[in-house]
Amino acid sequence: MNSKHAKSPCCGAPVRRFGRRRRQCVQCHHTWTVRPRKRGRPAHRTAATLLHRVLVEGFTLTQRFSKRPGVELPAYRYRFRQALLRFVSRPAPQKIPRGPLVLLADGLWFQFDGVPWVLYLTALKPCNGDYATFLDPLLLQGKEGATRWQKVVAAIPPQAMRRIGAIVVDNLPGMHKLASQHGWVLQLCHFHLLLKLQAQRRGMRYALRGGPVREEIHRLIHSALELPAGDRLARILERLRRLSEGDCGTQRIQTTVREFLKGLRFYRAYLAHPHLGLPHTTNSVESMGRLLREMFRSSRSGSNPESVLLWATAFIRMRLHTKCNGHPVN
């Protein structure tokens, strides 16, 4: 626009030149510059490669600081945090996979001032693919439960929610209801189930009551998770029912066996729905949680909820994809 038609921002009156870089309102004689200079101290931008070095390559800030003479460590940490804030404030870089999707989810527990917090991790796997894309995590106060998982699911982009056909999670209270509300196929994690039994087997002494029976239960459940439907599977399930009602050594093992028999179809959903390409564990999300734990331990950045969410979001955005193999279609 030609400057002779410009109006002053103060009075709306005509504007005239008042020097090379200033203009003046002809009514109130207020002047202003047309190219204002930025005020304040110059900004020190931390290179984006530093985020990659710390979050991906595993360097600590102290190690990187040793290569930056003339900058104090507190100032260097401040610049790194500002770089984290700028990186996280950008729009989420995740690209939702095409086609039908499978939702993988798990929670990472923290505690601050005696109050539990859970970092909810979610990933989307295409039914015909062998990788999973992580979404931004969500940190909520309180113990892990169905109500909070509802909030996590509500934060998933709508274009992805419409294409989710199944969910792979641990056997937590309320997950059956969550899956049924959305019409999803529920696949319970085999790893968490077998881990409960292995905890009883580790260092087992057969002098204890029911020691050999506990070993047999582990073997039978492992077979029941993989065998196709038939007479052999029926015999194994019948043997497990008798063991759960008899003397298995501990009440916890008996409860685990009864829970397994009650939710058998959810543990074998990957066999009943081969077209979905369901993984039968949440190991891909578990591995991300393990990497986050190692990062918080080395960087000492998980001192409060805000810091945990900031670092976890940046860490996951640096590692958007992970290998996740589903059960092959026969």
pLDDT above 70: percentage of residues in the chain: 88
Determine, yes or no, domain membership for 307.
no
Q: Judge if 110 and 242 occupy the same domain.
A: yes
Is residue 1 predicted with pLDDT exceeding 50? Answer: no
SS3 of 104, please? Answer: strand
Number of folded domains in the chain?
A: 3
Q: Which residue range is the domain that position 24 belongs to?
A: 3-33
- N-term to C-term CA, the chain: 68
- Give CA–CA dist 268/122, Å, rounded: 22
Nearest to 125 by CA among 161, 160, 97, 154: 97
Q: Judge if 110 and 254 occupy the same domain.
A: yes
pLDDT band at residue 300, thresholds of 50, 70 and 90?
confident
pLDDT, mean of residues 278-301: 89
Is residue 75 predicted with pLDDT exceeding 90? Answer: no
pLDDT band at residue 137, thresholds of 50, 70 and 90?
very high
- Give CA–CA dist 198/196, Å, rounded: 6
User: How far, CA to CA in Å, does 127 sit from each of 255, 271, 299?
Assistant: 33, 14, 36
Determine, yes or no, domain membership for 94.
no
pLDDT value for 310: 93
Strand ranges (E), 143-216: 164-169, 185-188
pLDDT digits (tens, 9 = 90+) for 184-219: 999 999 988 888 876 444 454 444 455 677 778 888
pLDDT value for 104: 94
Determine, yes or no, domain membership for 215.
yes
Q: Judge if 120 and 81 occupy the same domain.
A: no
- Give CA–CA dist 299/273, Å, rounded: 42
- Give CA–CA dist 131/142, Å, rounded: 31
pLDDT digits (tens, 9 = 90+) for 27-40: 998 988 888 887 77
pLDDT band at residue 288, thresholds of 50, 70 and 90?
very high
pLDDT value for 316: 93
pLDDT digits (tens, 9 = 90+) for 160-187: 999 999 999 998 878 888 899 999 999 9
Q: Judge if 55 and 182 occupy the same domain.
A: no
Is the CB of residue 116 less than 8 Å from the CB of residue 139?
no
Q: Is 203 left (phi over 0), alpha (psi -120 to 50) or beta?
A: left
Q: Judge if 119 and 225 occupy the same domain.
A: yes
Is the CB of residue 55 less than 8 Å from the CB of residue 292?
no
Q: Judge if 69 and 125 occupy the same domain.
A: no
pLDDT value for 206: 46
Residues in Cβ contact with 4 at an 8 Å cutoff, skipping those fewer than 6 apart: none
Q: Judge if 161 and 77 occupy the same domain.
A: no
pLDDT, mean of residues 253-262: 87
Is residue 159 predicted with pLDDT exceeding 70? Answer: yes
Pairing of strands 164-169, 185-188: parallel
Determine, yes or no, domain membership for 298.
no
Is the CB of residue 34 less than 8 Å from the CB of residue 43?
no
pLDDT band at residue 245, thresholds of 50, 70 and 90?
confident
Query: Which residue has tokens 């999707």?
Result: 101
Q: Judge if 149 and 68 occupy the same domain.
A: no
Determine, yes or no, domain membership for 306.
no
pLDDT band at residue 65, thresholds of 50, 70 and 90?
low
* pTM passes above 0.85: no
Buried b (16+ CB within 10 A) or exposed e, 299-330: bebbeebebbbbbbbbbbbeebebebebbeee
Which has the minimum average pLDDT: 90-104, 187-201, 275-289? 187-201
Q: Judge if 235 and 110 occupy the same domain.
A: yes
Determine, yes or no, domain membership for 78.
yes
Locate 274 and state its tokens: 């081969």
Angle between helices 211-224 and 251-262 (to 10 degrees): 20
Q: Judge if 115 and 242 occupy the same domain.
A: yes
Q: Judge if 193 and 78 occupy the same domain.
A: no
Mean residue pLDDT of the chain comes to 84
Q: Judge if 52 and 117 occupy the same domain.
A: no
Determine, yes or no, domain membership for 157.
yes
Determine, yes or no, domain membership for 300.
no
| Gyration radius of the chain over CA positions | 29
Is residue 46 predicted with pLDDT exceeding 70? Answer: no
Residue type, 106: D
